[in-house]
Amino acid sequence: MSNSKRDLSARQVQAWARLLGAQRLALQVVERALAGAQLPPLAWYDVLLELERAGKPGLRPFELQETMLLAQYNLSRLLDRLEKRGYVERRECKQDGRGQVVVITEAGRAVRRQMWPVYAAAIKASFADHLSARDVALLDSILGTLNERLRAM
The SS3 assignment for 90 reads: strand
Domain membership flag for residue 133: no
Instruction: Tell me what the mean pLDDT of segment 106-122 comes to.
Output: 98
Q: What is the pLDDT of residue 72?
A: 64
Domain membership flag for residue 144: no
Domain membership flag for residue 138: no
Q: What is the pLDDT of residues 130-149, one digit of tens each?
A: 999 999 999 999 999 999 99
Q: How many domains does the chain have?
A: 1
Residue 1: band (very low, low, confident or very high) from pLDDT cuts 50, 70, 90: very low
Strands 100-104 and 88-92: what pairing? antiparallel
CATH number at residue 58: 1.10.10.10
Share above pLDDT 70 across residues of the chain, in percent, rounded to a whole number? 93
Domain membership flag for residue 117: yes
The SS3 assignment for 37 reads: coil
The helix (run of H) or strand (run of E) holding residue 98 is none
Handedness of CA 63, 69, 73, 75 (dihedral sign): negative
Give me the DSSP letters along 33-61: HHHHTT---HHHHHHHHHHHHH-TT-B-H
Among the listed residues 53, 55, 32, the one whose alpha carbon sits nearest the alpha carbon of residue 42: 32
With 90 as the cut, is the pLDDT of residue 121 above it?
Answer: yes
Would the pTM count as exceeding 0.75?
yes
Domain membership flag for residue 148: no
Among the listed residues 60, 92, 98, 94, the one whose alpha carbon sits nearest the alpha carbon of residue 79: 60
Handedness of CA 40, 41, 47, 51 (dihedral sign): positive
How many C-beta atoms lie closer than 10 Å to residue 38's C-beta? 7
Domain membership flag for residue 31: yes
Q: What is the pLDDT of residues 14-59, one digit of tens each?
A: 999 999 999 999 999 999 999 999 999 999 999 999 999 999 999 9
Instruction: Tell me what the mean pLDDT of segment 98-124 comes to.
Output: 96
Burial class (CB in 10 A: 0-12, 13-18, 19+), 78: buried
Domain membership flag for residue 92: yes
Among the listed residues 75, 34, 32, the one whose alpha carbon sits nearest the alpha carbon of residue 51: 75
Domain membership flag for residue 103: yes
89 and 83 in contact (C-beta within 8 Å)? Answer: yes
Among the listed residues 107, 37, 143, the one whose alpha carbon sits nearest the alpha carbon of residue 29: 37
Give the structural domain span for 19.
Answer: 5-127
